[in-house]
Amino acid sequence: MKHIHHQEKEQFKQLFSRENIDKFEDRFKILEIFLQSEQHVTEQDLIQSLNKNGHEFNPEFVADTLNLMCRFGFAQKNEFDDGVIRYEHRHLGDNHDHMICTRCGKITEFRDHELEAMHVRVASMHGFHMLQHGLSIYGICSECISQRTPLIPLALGQKREILTVSEFTGGMASRMRLLSMGLRIGDKVEIISNSGNGQLVIAVDCKRYAIGRGLAEKILVRPGQ
């Protein structure tokens, strides 16, 4: 990896010098700090790392440098389901996809040659000239799963997760309300949206329901399908 980063720095120098990009020395410092992390970083993450290393730059200058790094292929901008823009190294010839834990936010990169070949094959079957592709798998990482209890309140379900209704813990009024909605023990529930506050939107048997958080706390579900 150090060898690759050395190449990246040399190419950065050549390109930015040839294109007469201003404030080259400052921009090169930003690249060096950026390359020190193998994580997906936000603009604010990078600014904090720069500050820790004694470099204080205007946020607009950092943002402009990141845009230039993306333009010249040294960085890649990603916007996952949470709407946060993150940047990662773009090493030439390296294709990978992402798994994103919707509970802790951990992003895991993975490479699968069979999956790469399948993308090419499917595009070819449809007479489609593929320029690029990206796969993002949303779910719950093994560490978060290991911390879960066998039964959790529906209110703790993650967006897109499919859960099985196991028990109602509320009083008779709550039970009757849920039954009137058509929700039964053993039903498969898909979480459509759950911001952590206010209502949840769920789907059961291709029907959508909005459930208040208090009521969702009284519905115990089993993770997994």
Q: Binding residue per annotation — 187?
A: no
Q: Binding residue per annotation — 97?
A: yes
Distance CA 57, CA 24 (A): 13
Q: Binding residue per annotation — 91?
A: no
- Return the closest-CA partner of residue 28 out of 16, 43, 45: 16
- Residue pair 38/82 in contact by the 8 Å Cβ criterion: no
Strand partners, 85: 79
Q: Binding residue per annotation — 101?
A: yes
Strand partners, 47: none
Q: Binding residue per annotation — 116?
A: yes
Q: Binding residue per annotation — 104?
A: yes
Q: Binding residue per annotation — 98?
A: no
Dump the DSSP string for 76-120. Answer: EEEE-TT--EEEEE--TT---EEEEETTT--EEEE--HHHHHHHH
**42, amino acid identity:** T
- Residue pair 175/132 in contact by the 8 Å Cβ criterion: no
**Which amino acids are annotated as binding site, given as ranges?**
97, 101, 104, 116, 133, 141, 144
**Which amino acids are annotated as binding site for Zn(2+), given as ranges?**
101, 104, 141, 144
**Which amino acids are annotated as binding site for Fe cation, given as ranges?**
97, 116, 133
